[in-house]
Structure 1
Amino acid sequence: MLSRTAASLYWLGRYIERADFVARLVEATVRLDVLSTRSAGEDAWRSALAVTETAEPFVASDQPLTREAVARFLISDASHPGSILRCLAMARDNARAVRIALSREAWQAVNGAWLIFDKRMSRLDPSATLAVVDAVKAETRGFEGALHRMLRNQTTLFIRLGQAIERTDNTARLLDVKYHILLPEGERVGGLVDRDQWTTILQTVSAVTAYRWLYSEGLKPSNVIDLLLSRGELPRSLAASTDETVGALTALAKLSGSQGAADRMARTRQARVAKTRTGDVITSGLHQHLQAMIAENALLHDAIGRQFKFH
Structure 2
Amino acid sequence: MPIQINKTVIFLMGPTASGKTDLAIQLSQQFKTRLISVDSALIYKGMDIGTAKPGKAILKKYPHRLIDTCNPEDSYSAFDFTRDANTQIKTAFANNELPILVGGTSFYFHALEHGLSKLPESNPKSKEKFNQLLKSKGTIALHQDLKKIDPQAANRIHPNDTQRITRALEVFDLSGKTLSELQGNKKPIINHPIKKIILMPERGELHQRIEKRFLSMIEHGFLDEVKTLKQNPNLHENLPAIRCVGYRQAWQYLNGEIGKAEMIEKSIIATRQLCKRQSTWLKSEEDALTLKISNPTQASAFINQ
Larger relative contact order (CA 8 Å, sep ≥ 6):
2
Q: TM-score, normalised by structure 2?
A: 0.30
Q: Which has the higher strand share?
A: 2
Q: Which has the higher helix share?
A: 1
